[in-house]
Structure 1
Amino acid sequence: MTTAQTTTSTRGARIEARDLTKTFGAFKAVDTLSFEVEPGRITGFLGPNGAGKTTTLRMLLGLIHPTAGSATIDGQKYHDLDHPQSIVGSALEATNFHPGRSGRDHLRVLAAAGGLPDSRVDELLELTGIPAAARKRAGEYSMGMRQRLGLAAALLGDPRVLILDEPSNGLDPEGIRWLRGFLRHLSNEGKTILVSSHLLQEVEQTVDDVVIIANGRMVRSGAMSELRGAPSTIVRTSDPAQLAGALRVADVLAQPGDDGELIVETTDKRLVGDVALRAGLPIWELRDRKADLEALFFELTEGTNRNLGDGNAVPTATAPTTHAPHETDAISGQEGANE
């Protein structure tokens, strides 16, 4: 393989949704949703349960036809990709395994469908940390083990794009920490990674960008740093107003916070301490102010969670864990909009 070919194979591919809409009868699961996911970055696709996340992911993967709008990967619809397994890997469900088939045999079947060697299977069993369970029946796997097996399946074709739906479900704290590091390693290789979750706290330590939806509509998107807001410091002292005035003289703005604290628009704690010393004020507390991203998430989505209720449920379908070239004949039923 030439150097140019190697660069192309490791470069991620851009994901783009434009006015993406999906309705099921009178129910609008996704409503004119537009966003981009850039190569070499991890994007968190966030929203409450029932927000339309899984429906959107399945439209990206060609498992559902949009009612309106478009979803493309590397500028093409999924079904127009010449070698989809080398472009896109996905893990949408952690239950899409034959219960009587071993984890290794499950991957071997998928590898054979994509023309990949068994050596790639063994490599990914090691990479995802499940070689000891490879000969065990998948039906006996814990949820965490199934998540790892699904991730291995998604990576079989060494894809440029990775789409994962709630990948941390069922993982213990050690597994979640491993997943974060693993995804960061993949993004550093240039891969495009889109990870859905219903809790911002789960992904805030990993993702670079976020797309937050509720009721199938966009409520916020952008870099994680934008959600965190400007860096600042919390100070407690005997006279917050006097310290705020002294800080203004030093060209540093400060605003009153809760319970008498002062929020100072700088992270230079030495500067704050020096100003307080010159003003003859004691410092009782001095710490970084961290944005409560989980609270922001709930603020953005509060009151928007749809309750489909009895009689309003829509049909669901089983999606492939990974995509061999044009596997649409293996997909049956209709997609649901309950996620």
Structure 2
Amino acid sequence: MTAVPERGPGRIEIRGLTKRFGSFTAVDQLDFTVQPGRITGFLGPNGSGKTTTLRMLLGLIRPTAGTATIDGRSYRDITEPLTVVGSALEATNFHPGRTARDHLRVLAAVAGVPDTRVDEMLELVGIPAAARKRAGGYSMGMRQRLGLAGALLGDPRVIILDEPANGLDPEGIRWLRGFLRHLAGEGRTLLISSHMLSEVEQTVDDVVIIANGRRVAEGTVAELHGEPTAYVRSSRLPALADALHRAGITSEPRDDGLTVRSGDLAHIGDIALAAGVPVHELRADQTHLEELFFNLTESDEHRNRNRSGHEAPPETLPPGELPPPSGAPVSTAAPSQEVDR
């Protein structure tokens, strides 16, 4: 009798997750949650612990302390993991002499899915014409699409991708954005690691930012942007500030204009018009995710300047640790000798 795949809602929970390599702490008491039906961006500078965290979540590295679970279970405890979790941590985990179709057929055999699913995935990610070409000749963008096809073979509820937009041209990035939104719309859980902040800002619902292995911010994109404000310039700034004050809106001088504590540009314009004040410039003035990212990570780096070392050692399995169990994550390479990204 064939076992019924374990397909819970797909909630990811990271609690007190810690990983030490000797005296170096790569991930330090990390806590965050990824909700089903949403795209969560996982951000951090190089060496911040992103890839180490994802590898612990996928059972490729044992944590020193804490837990990383999917629907309350560790990856190793999921009996049919490829139908629950699909992942792509690297775009190079295939034999260069093997065609894309044959690469996916091998993964499909491990996952227990029919070869017809392979052709469906090649069509879905937009590389059916290259299916019989050797993958070693693929561009980085095509490799990313092949990795995504592999991650989706088991029709998983949870999808974990590390830098999925790397190597994609503008058209490919636009396609990826729409594709990820489609997957989230189906109720799947998406955790996306990326350093392309402007792209993340247009794609994700929630953001987790880490630095030096610790969480420095978590929330929706709107929450992290903070209170909406506007910037306005006028030749009669005192009169404009007074009119805004009488309307119950605070403002403060900035450069040759005002920062207004309101994001309603039409209302600000109407107040200026009613007061007979000319407006030379009026625009939304939110903190961009990129600015927030650098402010948070640079502040954390400054606070931890005296920590011993900033580069993680090679991510090898410590003595006595076992490789991933049978049914390892789709399109996830075994631990490599590269430094955490």
Q: What is the TM-score when the length of structure 2 is the normalising length?
A: 0.88
Q: Work out whether residues 100 and 131 of structure 2, in 8 Å CA contact, stay in contact via their aligned partners in 1.
A: yes
* Deviation of 1:78 (Å): 0.2
Distance 1:89 1:323, change over 3 A: farther
Alignment partner, residue 247 of structure 2: 250
Q: Which residue of 2 is the match for residue 284 of structure 1?
A: 280
Structure 2 CA distance, aligned partners of 1:240 and 1:37?
45
What is the alpha-carbon distance in structure 2 between the residues aligned to residue 33 and residue 313 of structure 1? 19
- 8 Å contact kept, 2:90–2:333: no
- CA distance in 1 between partners of 2:109 and 2:129 (Å): 22
User: RMSD over aligned Cα, in angstroms?
Assistant: 2.5
Contact 1:48 1:199 in 2 (8 A): no
Letter in 1 for 2:286: K
Q: Which digits, 9 at most, give the CA deviation of each residue in 1:98-148, with x for residues without a partner? A: 011000100011101111111111111011000011000011111110000
* % identity of equivalent residues: 62
Name stretches of at least 5 consecutive residues in structure 2 with no aligned partner.
318-323
Pick from 146, 149, 152 the counterpart of residue 149 of structure 2.
152
How far has the Cα of 1:268 moved from its partner?
3.0
Establish whether residue 96 from structure 1 lines up as the match of residue 98 from structure 2: no
Alpha-carbon distance between aligned partners in 2 of 1:334 and 1:287, rounded to the nearest angstrom = 47
Q: Partners of 1:314 and 1:105 in 2: how far apart?
A: 31
State the partner residue of 2:290.
294
Does the 8 Å CA contact 2:252/2:260 hold for their aligned counterparts?
yes
How far 1:83 moved relative to its partner?
1.2
Deviations 1:36-78 (A, max 9, x none): 0000000000000110000000000000000000110111000
The offset of 1:333, in angstroms, is: 6.0
**Residue 113 of structure 2 is aligned to residue 111 of structure 1:** no
Q: Residue in 2 aligned with 1:325?
A: 327
CA offset at residue 336 of structure 1? 5.8
Residue 181 of structure 1 is matched in structure 2 by: 178
Q: Does 1:16 align with 2:13?
A: yes
Deviation at 1:313, TM superposition (A): 3.2
Select the residue among 263, 271, 279 that pairs with 1:267: 263
Which ranges of structure 1 fall in alignment gaps of 5 or more residues? Answer: none
> Cα offset for 1:332?
6.0
State the Cα distance separating 1:323 from its structure 2 match. 9.2
Deviations 1:213-246 (A, max 9, x none): 0110111111111111222222111122321111
Equivalent-residue separation in structure 2 for 1:156 and 1:85 (angstroms) = 8
Report if aligned partners of 1:30, 1:56 keep a CA contact under 8 Å in 2.
Answer: yes
CA distance in 1, matches of 2:297, 2:325: 32
State the 1:295 CA deviation. 1.4
- The separation in 1 between residues aligned to 2:143 and 2:336, in whole angstroms, is 24
Deviation at 1:275, TM superposition (A): 1.8
Preserved contact between residue 205 and residue 220 of structure 2 (Cα < 8 Å):
yes
**Structure 1 position 186, deviation (Å):** 0.2
Q: Tell me which amino acid in the other structure corresponds to 1:241.
A: P
Find the counterpart in structure 1 of residue 124 from structure 2: 127
Distance in 1, Cα, partners of 2:142 & 2:237:
53
The 1:181–1:323 alpha-carbon spacing in structure 2 relative to 1, beyond 3 Å, is farther
For 1:127 and 1:334, locate their aligned partners in 2 and report how far apart those are by CA, in whole Å.
29
Distance 1:333 1:186, change over 3 A: closer
Looking at structure 2, the residues matched to 315 and 280 of structure 1 have their Cα atoms a distance apart, in angstroms, of 65
| Alignment partner, residue 136 of structure 1 | 133
* Match of residue 49 from structure 1: 46
Equivalent in the alignment of 2:72? 75
Q: Distance in 1 between matches of 2:269 and 2:239?
A: 14
Partner of 1:231: 228
**Residues 270-319 of structure 1 deviation map (CA, whole Å, 9 limit, x = unaligned):** 322232123221111122223222111111111639642xxx732448xx
Report the AA paired with residue 79 of structure 1. R
Q: Kindly provide the amino acid, as one letter, of the partner of residue 119 in structure 1.
A: T
CA distance in 2, matches of 1:200, 1:169: 12
> Quick one: structure 1 residues 332 and 235, their matched pair in 2 at CA, closer, same or farther if it must change by over 3 Å?
closer
